[in-house]
Structure 1
Amino acid sequence: MNFDYSEKIIDLQERLTSFFDTHILPVEREVNEFLYHPDNLWKPWPGMESLKQKAKEEGLWNLFLPKAYGDLSPGLSNLEYAPLAEIMGRILWSSEIFNCSAPDTGNMEVLAKYGSKDQQKQWLAPLLNGDVRSAFLMTEPQVASSDATNIETSIVSDGNDYVINGRKWWSSGGMNPNCKIAIVMGKTDPQAPRHQQQSMVLVPMNSPGLKIIRPLSVFGFYDSPEGHAEILLENVRVPKENLILGEGRGFEIAQGRLGPGRIHHCMRLIGMAQRSLELMSKRASERIAFGKTFKDYSSIRQEIAKSQCDIEQARLLTLSAADKMDKFGNKLSKDLIAMIKVVAPKMALKVIDRAMQIHGGKGVGPDTPLAHFFVAARMLRLADGPDEVHMYQLGKSIIKKYAE
């Protein structure tokens, strides 16, 4: 692996950092106060569209889409996008400004890779342009959804339509007022082989029978305006051309969707951890207790040193996974992807926790991003597969490799 970035990627990192310094960091407190205010639930911050337009004008748009997708993509590999995702991870809501936020990124990749020309024209084009937002409906409250083959939502053929029935929750993006389309995973043939029962279908959010039951908070954070929704689908009818790729291909699509998404999540986690390290270092140089500045206590120095080691280890492992994915694809990279998905959230939790401890009361309040970082990192030990699933599969792969 070559750790030296091209002039193009160095330039993008510098431009993205400059955009943060000029347009995002100065309004961070204002945006947070707006988003966390209970009167503003499910309302976008009024200045968001203006920032998105600036990002478009500066060529910092849709950076996530791998170069394999041709004209739809800015031409970056997963390895090249990784440091940009890290920069975006420094502020939780910033990815949307560059049209690089989940679940839209994964949904756009699905449509770019597996969608028909008509599906791409109707839904991918407005998503790539930032005109609409989307949701991903996979997880269900009645089954252990970490095993995707458990999904019970039914997608039943009826003439020229499919009829969908089921209940979903933790439906990312479902609460956004501009969410117009959802990708729904369900079963078209419960009698087929285990990994060929599932399919994915496009469901407009205004479809009759689709009902948002409630928003779901994470440790009290609603992540407005995107949010996570519990959604009921009762006899929702969509035309058959809304099926993605074909019946029984849902598990295949899910695996293709999750590989790049896990890279993105992990690099954003590294961005959270890196910013937490910077904040705790600054705090340690400013505060005095018992006659000494925090930075002069050996215990504080050790916490900061351990944090730098932890971050760099996770960063290099994630870059290695991105590099292997670029060279060999998702399937041959699955072990490294499993490793980073276990390592990165745990690393971020440790570093953020140390930063909160060094900040004292300020670290758990609204005046730093640390508390929300901690919640996001804890959630990501579950999202896109819990630790236990990744370790189960990774252990199986390692044993097979060396037993043979």
Structure 2
Amino acid sequence: MKALNTFIMEDWLETYRFNSPFNLGESGGSPRSVKELLLGSGLSEKKSSEIFLDTLLNDSPNRGREDLRKLVADMHPGAQIDNVLITTGTSEALFLLFRYLSPKKIALPLPAFQLLYEIPSALGAQIIPLPIRFLEHGTPFVDISEWKKIIKENDPDCLLINNPHNPSGLVFEKTFLLEIKKLAKDVSCKIIGDEHYRFLSTDSEILGETLFDTSENVFITGSFIKCFGVPGLRIGWCVGTKKVLDSMQNEKNYTTHTVNPITEWISYEVLKNRDSHLFKEVKEEWIKNKLILKDFLANSQTVYGAVPVGGLVTALGFKNVNNQDEVDKLLKKLIDGGVFILPLSSMEFGQYAFQNEHEYNGLRLSFINKGYGFRLGLGCTSEKFSRALHEIERILLRNE
């Protein structure tokens, strides 16, 4: 495995996440404390304190505690406990899974979170882009017939679908997923469903669709930490066949070995009751922030784009801006004004030919495809999110 390239977005996040009054660069929800997690899940403060103070800091079971694995299995129809490996975040699950699969050619929607293509590339895989384009007014879209053609012509041995998609906010619906999954199986292609935002995939249901089935060529990675605003909890999972998970755990034994028992306990308490106040609060805040963003975009003189259908991020563009120098000036203006947003260049927009097209099948395309904009995170309290959007407009309209 060759050396990994610099994780571009993380350098931006680390520079500004702790010192910006309005941090809209993150991909997670409104930050929550341990107290908010546990009391929102139905525990009393007294009971939470007792369990925490009595928790033994020995190793957890290598595969994760059984009651937690059972809860994760229950979210994936047909899965059993042996089909679940608990990991230190989704990133570890993906890293171990890529190491096991060692794909020669991997097809995935682009643009994408850097880890999803960087690790396969470092393992020697050819990256096959499945284009996500942004229309003239910033709405993302996919041509499924184009994707099918690309998969048939390139014959990848691995297909990855990030759903809901980061950074477009697209949600791939069940019929779409079934078509793509059938094609992947027809060409004997392994399938990875990266479902980190599954808890925020739909306004009405607790969980969105999953690619999981009980066949040997389907693997799912996921977590709740971004949706619930607790990335510091570092909990994730991989769902797949026992044989593959055994191999992944063996490699995990050389690094993180097991997940912290306190982390596993908190995660169990969160997931055991999906009708809890916490689940309702997370969903309500997300829906409210989407409505706030919708109103902002309808009236903004400076910014355009679309509200995410799922997940906590969307890609927005600057109005009347058509070169990178102008974009860089506006990004600096926002950051200097106390609003941190993530430049699309940090997600390597504009690296592929399809991202530099002016139109596709007669449809005019946006400069967002080239990277002339920013990724916006919805992970604030609704009151603060509204104020942050107001600041974006005020700063960009200010003459200097």
TM bin, normalised by shorter chain, reads under 0.3
Structure whose residues are more often helix by fraction? 1
> How high is the TM-score relative to the length of structure 1?
0.24
Structure scoring higher RCO (CA < 8 A, sep ≥ 6) equals 2
